[in-house]
Amino acid sequence: MKIIDKLYTRVKERGFICIGLDTSLDYLPDIMKKDKSIDEAIFAFNKEIIDNTYDVCACYKLQIAYYESYGLLGMKAYRDTLAYLREKDLISIGDIKRSDIAASASQYALAHFEGDFEADFITLNPYMGMDSISPYEKYIASGKKGVFILLRTSNEGANDFETLTTDNGEEYFYRVGDKIKELNDKYLGESGFGPFGLVVGATHKAEIEEIRKRYKNNFFLIPGFGAQKADSYNVYKLLRDLNGGVVNSSRAILKNYQNYEDGEGKIGHYARLKAIESKEEISQNASL
């Protein structure tokens, strides 16, 4: 089964939530850090989240910056978490947002599609041009790997460049998306989706319907829900029949235990509750 079809099936079976393992030591209770090295503590926290949520989410996204900031021990936790996800046959997204060309991009592909830091999907920044994407294509052509490419991001500064008007009167991000669509359509799976996904933030409601219609065969990674407070209806409109995308939530799920008096002993339990609650909040828009 191609990885994009596997992701489609996981969404169908377990829901569209993607749990962001953007794990900071600040999120961990003191008891979990006691007598543990940095890598041990972070991995223990991640494992607690994974073990309690794997059947109510489609995949897990690891933002590499949270691990790089702790140096070698942080990257050991990153490696160990990815290995644990593979061991449990769970889908991983390495949120690395690389942007480089030629030999350098090939080395990034080798680093994150093989070896210690292997993930099923990775995120890429396309703004150096299509030659920053093509070095990953040989892995994607195998059907075993996929990418999510930045298109319309959820941050406020996205308007600095992504919405600049091009010579045909459209916003710049549509030109990027059209190039990725062309590439994606070469590799469509049985689900009707291809492995060149797009990162589309749910905080920009003006373009949502056009983006979903225009890139109907691209799977979306949808940030902005949860701590960034994107409207659940906007998120729903970026999905296709509650599939065709995964909705990332990180802090809202990881730190949910802090909202309860008995939370420190039930971190995974409250993460699970928040993941289910998030899915239900978005899904209820189907009846509107």
The span from the CA of 249 to the CA of 224, in Å, is 8
Catalytic site includes residue 34: no
Contacts of 99 (CB under 8 A, 6+ apart): 124, 125, 126, 127, 128, 132
Collapsing DSSP to helix, strand or coil, 8 comes out as helix
Residue 80 CB contacts under 8 Å (≥ 6 apart), including other chains:
39, 43
The 8-class DSSP code of residue 222 comes to E
Decide if 91 contacts 82 (C-beta within 8 A).
no
25: buried, middle or exposed (CB in 10 Å: 19+, 13-18, 0-12)? middle
Helix or strand (DSSP H, E) at 14: helix 3-14
Distance CA 274, CA 249 (A): 10
Count of Cβ atoms closer than 10 Å to residue 71 Cβ? 11
Contact 101, 129 (CB under 8 A): yes
Distance from first CA to last CA of the chain, Å, rounded?
34
Single-letter residue type at 102: A
Q: How many residues does the chain have?
A: 288
Catalytic residue among 12, 36, 47, 97: 97
Residues assigned a catalytic role: 97
